[in-house]
Structure 1
């Protein structure tokens, strides 16, 4: 089992769209048993997949000392893809981690899901606190979406610092240029400066994910956006394979 975090300290970079589409690629293209774990209180992943959290169970209860995630996990309409949705309760998750005093609580919960899932994808909140630190300790790879802009570059530097600060065996980082539009000068410059980074283009089909409540590969499999996520997923699987060697 491998866990992948989609993370940025900056909002509006396409983080949730990445998480949903990569989880779908894991489940559909690689046919791996996949859990998409939404750690963002906005429950964006649940919205994009048309799955609401259960009313009677709060997402933060997963992290209590005597609880497991299994009762909150929901099936999606896609084979091999399950969702652990978020809700407003995890706005206080940082404080909850402080109360229980366990620095690897998320990593322990993730390890406990090993028998049920081959891949876990974390949709992370854009924060720098104990939640992000726990995510880094629980992850085998960190994906960082970066729209071409000076603010994104600064955000990436903060992510690198956060990941490296999580411990000696910190996970590798894979930066991805997101919402790339080669008609724009700044975007061309960003691509020229980082020619080896994977790219996900600015594409109308990707924007339709939020309208149709589906990953782009499910409704527009031949679109540039779907092909970009499939290629990115292939790069991720290769990086995970190299990490295991």
Structure 2
């Protein structure tokens, strides 16, 4: 089983969009049994893939007050399951500090059952949760919008976690009509790049991965290629 975290210091860089689409690619294109674990209290991934019902039990899993199997839900896609987030995760960093278990997330993942891939949709920030993710993940995928703030955030992640876990930066929300975006992508031409495409926004509004909503769109093809790179890195 490989654990892949989608993480950034910054919000608004497309983490949840990448998490949903990579999980769908793993389950659909690679036919892998995949679990998407939403760790962000905003629960964006859970909204896209879940049933829309309100929950308030996500944090109980970390204190072992509830069996993970009771919270894992099927999605409408074969081989893709969801461990949803809810507002109870807003205090997760505090709980990790209280528990003082440095590898609690890693141990919980090991207990999740028979999955080929676990994909973590992580909340932003340099937090206790981020430290737990770095100890648990086999690969951290970092979406980097071609902007100074986003690039600075990626450099901080590299310094903080680069010697601990493999990191894959990804140019995300790339608009090639903007000179700064073109220059940033050219500076790191070896990084995968995902375009800022209206098809992604339209698919998300329908609560669908873009590969399911618009499989021939350039964004769907770019996400499929990114998944192939991620899978190779985890092999």
Among candidates 106, 130, 133, match of residue 132 of structure 1? 130
Provide the residue aligned with 1:188 in structure 2: 182
3-state DSSP of counterpart to 1:208: helix
- Is 2:193–2:222's contact at 8 Å kept on the other side of the alignment? yes
Q: 1:215 is matched with which residue: 199, 209, 216?
A: 209
Partner of 2:114: 116
Distance (whole Å) between structure 2 residues aligned to residue 65 and residue 19 of structure 1? 25
TM-score by length of 2: 0.96
Distance in 2 between residues matched to 1:65 and 1:219, nearest whole Å: 37
Task: Compute the RMSD of aligned alpha carbons.
Answer: 1.3
Determine the structure 2 residue equivalent to 1:200: 194
1:191 Cα deviation after fit: 1.3
Deviates more, 1:20-29 or 1:58-67: 58-67
Deviations 1:33-74 (A, max 9, x none): 00000000010001122433563x510000014543111111
> By how many angstroms is 1:218 displaced?
0.4
- 5 Å matches for 1:137-156? 137-156=135-154
Where 2:149 maps in the other structure, the secondary structure is helix
SS of corresponding position for 2:81: strand
Name the counterpart of 2:61: 62
Local SS of the residue matching 2:168: strand
Q: TM-score, normalised by structure 1?
A: 0.92
Q: Secondary structure at the match of 2:51?
A: coil
Q: CA deviation at 1:219?
A: 1.1
TM-superposed CA distance for 1:171, in Å, is 1.5
Question: How many residue pairs align between the two structures?
Answer: 235
Counterpart of 1:235 (choices 226, 229, 232) is 229
Deviation readout 1:15-38 (Å, 9 max, x if unpaired): 000000000000000110000000
Moved more, 58-67 or 178-187: 58-67
Query: Is the CA contact (8 Å cut-off) linking 1:65 and 1:100 kept in structure 2?
Result: no
Deviations 1:175-217 (A, max 9, x none): 0001111111001101110111001001010111321000000
Match of 1:83 in 2: 82
Q: Is the 8 A contact 2:50 2:84 kept in 1?
A: no
The range that moved more, 223-232 or 59-68, is 59-68
Partner Cα separation in structure 2 for residue 46 and residue 197 of structure 1: 28
> How far apart in 2 are the matches of 1:125 and 1:51?
21
Contact 2:204–2:210, Cα closer than 8 Å, also in 1 = no
Cα contact 2:200–2:210 (8 A) shared by 1: yes
